[in-house]
Amino acid sequence: MSMGVKEDKPNTPKKPFIYYYTIMMVVLMALNLFLMPMYRSSQVTEVPYSTFLDMVDQGVVTSVERSDDEIVFLVKTGNKTVFGDDEIAQYKTGPWPDNNLEDTLRSHKVQFTTPIIEQPSALMTILVQWVVPILLFVAVGQFMGKQLQKRMGGPNAMTFGKSNAKIYAESETGKTFADVAGEEEAKDALKEIVDFLHDPQKYADIGATLPKGALLVGPPGTGKTLLAKAVAGEAKVPFFSISGSEFVEMFVGMGAAKVRDLFKQANEKAPCIVFIDEIDTIGKKRDGSGMGGNDEREQTLNQLLTEMDGFDGKKGVVILAATNRPESLDPALLRPGRFDRRIPVELPDIKGRESILRVHAKDVKMDDTVDFTAIARATSGASGAELANIINEGALRAVRMGRKVVSQQDLEESVEVVIAGYQKKDSAVSEDEKKIVSYHEVGHALVAACQSHSAPVHKITIIPRTSGALGYTMQVDQAEKYLMSKDEVFNKIATLTGGRAAEELIFHSITTGASNDIEQATKLARAMVTRYGMNDQFGMVALETVNNQYLGGDTSLACSPETARVVDEEVIKLVKEAYKKAMEILAQNEGKLHEIAAYLLEKETITGDEFMEILNRKEETKTESAEHELVTE
């Protein structure tokens, strides 16, 4: 992306340095001209040799310096200086023609061995005393300024009061709504702004005004910045792009000055779009904790609020902003008249994921057998940025394998890379540990398959991954699910406990491999009690609040310590019930557990179809089952 330049008012080119040097020389010449009389009294005056002898006889000569071609001497003038001493004038005459001159000088007590230092010219004095120190000072200042810029982050660090916004001309964003997939609702909300910028008159005829601002809210990677660029590309208007952190300066008041400069530029370029990314940096709630001092962020926010109120909406200046922390924004920023619209940019559904995969696959050579729908089903909860990464990882894998096109296998492997990391080919996992991991993963799959309202098993593997997982079981729903019943949530907890249950059932001991399962099961059980109202003890009472829903979704309890203790008891009870159910299912299907675990140990990776084929086979005879169990144990 290239930075645009203002078209209406081109920047004035910087004057060359010779311009400033010429001015400096003219000033120096003028100073030399006017200051010359100050030095005339100390200039050397040439006199005849006879005059020199007369001055010696008169006793006014104080010292003489002899050279091969001239004699330079000092003479008392008779005038007094401000310090009370006689003034001294400097003269010179021809060479030394008289051999008796030395005796004459001795008789008049004239010093003729003392060297006389020549008085420098006025120009040299000015240069040495004024110009050189100034130039040295300027050079040191420039050097220190460059070092400060490097430490503070670039050439714009010391441009106080300038907004540093990147300005893209009409065609320079290179993005349109065709480049945005999976966010149809957000695009529909923004198309009206584009239409207003194209034809404002039809809105003015009915008395409608353009929304001053639109706030794009959603998780990271969903395409908020891309949507803003697409709006500018569709409207064919200049696009100002700046991050909220660029308003935060080291000096108080500089952020507010940058806001003023940004809106001044925007008004000059209207109609245009101003995009402020990560606006929560400067738009946080004002809580009065400034301790009585000047808060730079608060001043910047106040200036932003003032500017958004002050500019004329009919000019066609639209403010777009993006954030993934809307709960932290100041209410004054969100009221109508400032950010009139709040546009959610959520994680895409299965149809949106398929569209995003196809958009990113346009420039990648794909095999004709690639099934984007299957990849979209396997990537539930993935953002647009993660889906783009999956396509790129698939292309990289195809190159590593020496293929010219990307296959379905490449994309499926890239999904696993994004979820669990790369395969650890040189992992030194012992055979005993592999056997434990095999039973553990089959325990998950078997509990899931034997329950209703559970997602089908897609893949089971015991190949270690770089994320630290020694194996995993992947379940993929056939359709997108937005709601989960109480039975589905409980069954999911039972599935999570199935790995630990299999270890205890077969090996009569437990390992540390279930740590992630325990964490997820506990989180789900707590949510059933505190947020979903799926507990008979508390019913429809919210005991927990979600913070930063787009950034991890941390929770905090909103109840008394006594209630929190009861919550813990109910969570433990739920997990224990799910674990008991998993143990019962595995005990009833122990033969299949041995059979599938042995097959997985041999193959290391099996598909969901292979798993179901073994599970649905006719039961073995009791003798064969007993022999098989004896061998595996």
Q: Which residues are catalytic?
A: 441
Q: What is the dihedral of CA 136, 140, 145, 150, to 10 degrees?
A: 140
Beta strand segments in 413-469, E: 457-461
Write phi, then psi, for 86 (nearest 5 degrees).
-75, 140
Distance separating alpha carbons of residues 67 and 274, to the nearest angstrom: 80
Handedness of CA 351, 352, 353, 357 (dihedral sign): positive
Helix (H, G, I), strand (E, B) or coil at 100: coil
Are 267 and 311 in contact by the 8 Å Cβ rule? The answer is yes
Distance separating alpha carbons of residues 406 and 399, to the nearest angstrom: 8
Count of residues making up the chain: 633
Helix (H, G, I), strand (E, B) or coil at 555: strand
Write phi, then psi, for 522 (nearest 5 degrees).
-65, -40
Termini Cα distance of the chain: 63
Tokens of 410: 């490449």
Query: How many other C-beta atoms lie within 10 A of the C-beta of residue 524?
Result: 20
Tokens of 102: 């030395």
Distance separating alpha carbons of residues 208 and 212, to the nearest angstrom: 12
CA atoms within a 13 Å half-sphere pointing along the CA-CB vector of 255: 24
- From the list 535, 457, 469, the residue with the least C-alpha distance to 495 is 457
- Give the max Cα distance, the chain: 148
Strand 544-547 relative to strand 554-557: parallel, antiparallel, unpaired?
A: antiparallel
Helix (H, G, I), strand (E, B) or coil at 340: coil
Distance separating alpha carbons of residues 273 and 294, to the nearest angstrom: 31
Write phi, then psi, for 453 (nearest 5 degrees).
60, 35
Are 92 and 45 in contact by the 8 Å Cβ rule? The answer is yes
Residue that is written with structure tokens 């649905």 in the block:
616
CA atoms within a 13 Å half-sphere pointing along the CA-CB vector of 338: 18
